[in-house]
């Protein structure tokens, strides 16, 4: 083999032995673009999942409030707040403490965003004396914005829980 043939063979081997800097940069750019697209999609779903979880927690608290009402024939007083659902010491001293039980397995003092749940024994959104108000101001923590989650919004409305009533279920028929 001639000297020229050997040099050409070595160059051919070197050309197929690795990637050029441009090829590596193109691959990195593609990976970064894909990571960015996936990241945006995942973060958007995370926010939606947090809101859905908050709605589930609101319904869990509503169920606990109904159990409390069943035992005490009233919803917790504003002074007792939601804490009475998991802490007996918050119960009104005049109430029969023998009826009390833990209505929530785990305390839920705050919503998904770290803000305290809002609770009012007598609803300001209904004339019905058997209704209460329960709410979260959502991710922004501001009252009256579209991301609020509450117990009085009509089913299917934006920001509602899908439940339009917090009054007790009708008594069963004999």
Does some domain include residue 30? yes
Does some domain include residue 170? no
Ordered DSSP codes for 3-22: HHHHHHHHHHHHHHHS--HH
Distance of alpha carbon 49 from alpha carbon 58, whole angstroms: 14
- The stretch 25-33 carries a mean pLDDT of 93
* CATH classification of the domain holding 75: 3.30.700.10
- The stretch 63-74 carries a mean pLDDT of 94
Burial class (CB in 10 A: 0-12, 13-18, 19+), 10: exposed
Q: Is the pLDDT of residue 8 over 50?
A: yes
Does some domain include residue 82? yes
First and final C-alpha spacing in the chain:
106
Number of domains in the chain: 1
Give me the sheet containing 133-136, strands edge to edge: 118-120, 133-136, 149-150
Does some domain include residue 158? no
The segment with the largest mean pLDDT, out of 63-67, 136-140, 159-163, is: 63-67
Q: What confidence category does residue 24 fall into, taking pLDDT thresholds of 50, 70 and 90?
A: very high
How far, CA to CA in Å, does 94 sit from each of 5, 72, 77, 99, 102?
104, 11, 12, 12, 18
Global pTM? 0.66
Does some domain include residue 31? yes
Q: What confidence category does residue 2 fall into, taking pLDDT thresholds of 50, 70 and 90?
A: low
pLDDT at site 160: 38
Does some domain include residue 161? no
Does some domain include residue 166? no
Does some domain include residue 100? yes
Q: What confidence category does residue 3 fall into, taking pLDDT thresholds of 50, 70 and 90?
A: low
Q: Is the pLDDT of residue 174 over 60?
A: no
List pLDDT tens digits, range 79-131: 999 999 999 999 999 989 899 999 998 999 999 999 999 999 999 988 887 89
Which residue range(s) make up the domain with 79? Answer: 3-150
């Amino acid at each position: 083999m001639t000297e020229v043939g050997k040099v050409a063979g070595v160059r051919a081997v070197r050309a197929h032995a690795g990637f050029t800097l441009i090829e590596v940069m193109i691959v990195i750019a593609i990976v970064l673009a894909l990571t960015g697209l996936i990241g945006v999609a995942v973060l958007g779903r995370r926010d939606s999942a947090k809101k859905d979880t908050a709605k589930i927690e609101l319904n869990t608290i509503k169920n606990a409030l109904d159990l409390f009402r069943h035992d005490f024939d009233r919803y917790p007083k504003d002074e007792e707040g939601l804490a009475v659902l998991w802490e007996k010491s918050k119960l009104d001293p005049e109430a029969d403490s023998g009826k009390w039980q833990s209505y929530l397995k785990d305390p839920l003092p705050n919503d998904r965003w770290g803000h305290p749940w809002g609770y009012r024994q007598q609803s300001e959104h209904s004339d019905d004396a058997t209704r209460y108000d329960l709410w979260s101001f959502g991710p922004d923590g501001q009252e009256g914005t579209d991301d609020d989650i509450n117990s009085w919004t009509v089913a299917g409305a934006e920001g509602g829980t899908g439940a339009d009533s917090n009054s007790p279920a009708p008594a069963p028929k004999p």
